Chain A
Amino acid sequence: DGGITQSPKYLFRKEGQNVTLSCEQNLNHDAMYWYRQDPGQGLRLIYYSQIVNDFQKGDIAEGYSVSREKKESFPLTVTSAQKNPTAFYLCASSIDRGRGNIQYFGAGTRLSVL
C-alpha cells in the first residue's frame, strides 16, 4: 500500500539519551515534515524538507535534528538537549500539483520519558 510509515509506534527515552524516530514514504513526494503535538493542542512544526539533502528549521527545532539523504526517508532525532520530549510526533509528506498542497500524515510515534 502507498503511504507514510512511522516507527516505532511507542518509544521510551532515558535521561541523556538520543532517540531516532523513523519516517518512510512511498508516495514519491518531494516535501516531508515533522510535527509535534502535545495533549489537547494543535500541531507545531519541528523541521521540514523540500528536497533531498536540504531541510529547514520549523517553529520548535531546538533539541531536534533531521537528515534527508533519500527522498523516501526523513528521520527525526530527539537529542538529550530536548528537555521536554514527551509528545506525539507526526510525520507528513506532500506534493504540490498546482492546485494546493495536500499533506498526508503517518500514524504517529508516541514518545515518553522514563
Chain B
Amino acid sequence: DAKTTQPPSMDCAEGRAANLPCNHSTISGNEYVYWYRQIHSQGPQYIIHGLKNNETNEMASLIITEDRKSSTLILPHATLRDTAVYYCIVRGGSQGNLIFGKGTKLSVKP
C-alpha cells in the first residue's frame, strides 16, 4: 500500500499558485519525499524531491513540515499545461521502487 495520503482532486485558477498537500505520517528518517506528475497517457515526470529541508527548482517548491509527517508541493503560477495527476511518493519497498498511490488530479481552469 502507498505510504501517503492525498486529496483525490483539486482545482486551481490559471496564474494562481497551486498548493498540493500530502500526508506521510509513517515516513522513516532516511526516506525522501518525491513528487511526480502524469499528464494523460504519458509517462510520469519527476518534479522535485526532498528529505527534510524545503526545496525549490525551476518547476516547483517543496515544503516539508518540521516533523516530516506532511508536505506541500507548490506550483507558483499554474498554467493549463499543469493539469495532470500529481503523485506524492515516499520511497519505499525493499526493491527501491516507487510506490504510486492514486495521486491528486489537478485541474487548472482559465
Residues of A within 8 A of B (CB): 4, 6, 31, 33, 35, 40-45, 48, 50, 56, 58, 88, 90, 92, 94, 96, 99-108, 110
Contact = CB atoms under 8 A, between A and B. Distances in A.
Contacts of A42: 2, 87, 99-103
Interface string B32-53: 1010000001111110010100
Contact of A100 (B42, B49, B101): B49
B95 A58 contact: yes
Contacts, number: 60
Given A100-B32, A101-B32, 14 more contacts: A31-B96, A33-B97, A35-B97, A42-B87, A42-B102, A45-B93, A45-B97, A90-B44, A96-B96, A101-B96, A102-B49, A104-B46, A107-B43, A108-B43
Interface residues of B, number: 23
B59 to A, nearest CB: 13
Contacts of A92: 43
B44 A41 contact: no
Contacts of A104: 46
Given A106-B43, A107-B42, A107-B43, A100 B95 contact: no
Interface in B77-110: 87, 91, 93, 95-103
A69 B76 CA distance: 44
